[in-house]
């Protein structure tokens, strides 16, 4: 059985927007970032990188990146949606100043360089 016209494997426009934002920090790409302070911007950037790495690794882990369409962008969509719903604030459960947070520990590698 051949698949002649498969549905898109992932949302290429979203991936392109995420990559361009990481390269340029152009806040027009994700309007909710207009209200970000430096700390939120760093967290959003870290989340985007995580979402993109999940996207690129999903096909490689299965050994199908060259032959199949098993790459998934679900996590990238979730990340953008969570930040968008927050409207420039911290997504629910991710404010590092809250005592009850769903965040994990951040190592020195993930912290922004000191000025």
Helix (H, G, I), strand (E, B), or coil: what is residue 112?
coil
Q: Which residue has the tokens 């990188």?
A: 49
Euclidean distance between CA atoms 58 and 55, whole angstroms: 5
Contact (CB, 8 A) for 44 and 36: yes
> Nearest Cα to 51, choosing from 87, 81, 6, 92?
81
Chain Cα centroid distance, residue 34: 17
pLDDT tens by residue, 45-59: 999 999 998 876 655
pLDDT of residue 84 exceeding 80:
yes
Provide the strand spans (E) within the chain: none
Whole-model pTM over 0.75: no
Q: Which residue has the tokens 């209200």?
A: 35
Q: What percent of the chain has pLDDT over 90?
A: 46
């Amino acid at each position: 059985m051949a698949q002649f016209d498969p549905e898109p494997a992932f949302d290429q426009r979203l991936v392109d927007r995420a990559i361009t934002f990481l390269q340029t920090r152009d806040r027009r790409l994700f309007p909710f970032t207009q209200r970000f302070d430096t700390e939120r911007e760093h967290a959003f950037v870290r989340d985007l990188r995580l979402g993109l790495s999940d996207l690129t690794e999903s096909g490689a882990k299965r050994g199908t990146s060259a032959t199949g369409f098993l790459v998934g962008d679900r996590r990238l969509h979730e990340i953008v949606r969570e930040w968008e719903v927050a409207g420039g604030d911290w997504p629910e459960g991710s404010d590092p100043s809250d005592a009850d947070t769903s965040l994990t520990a951040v190592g020195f590698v993930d912290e922004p360089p000191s000025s």
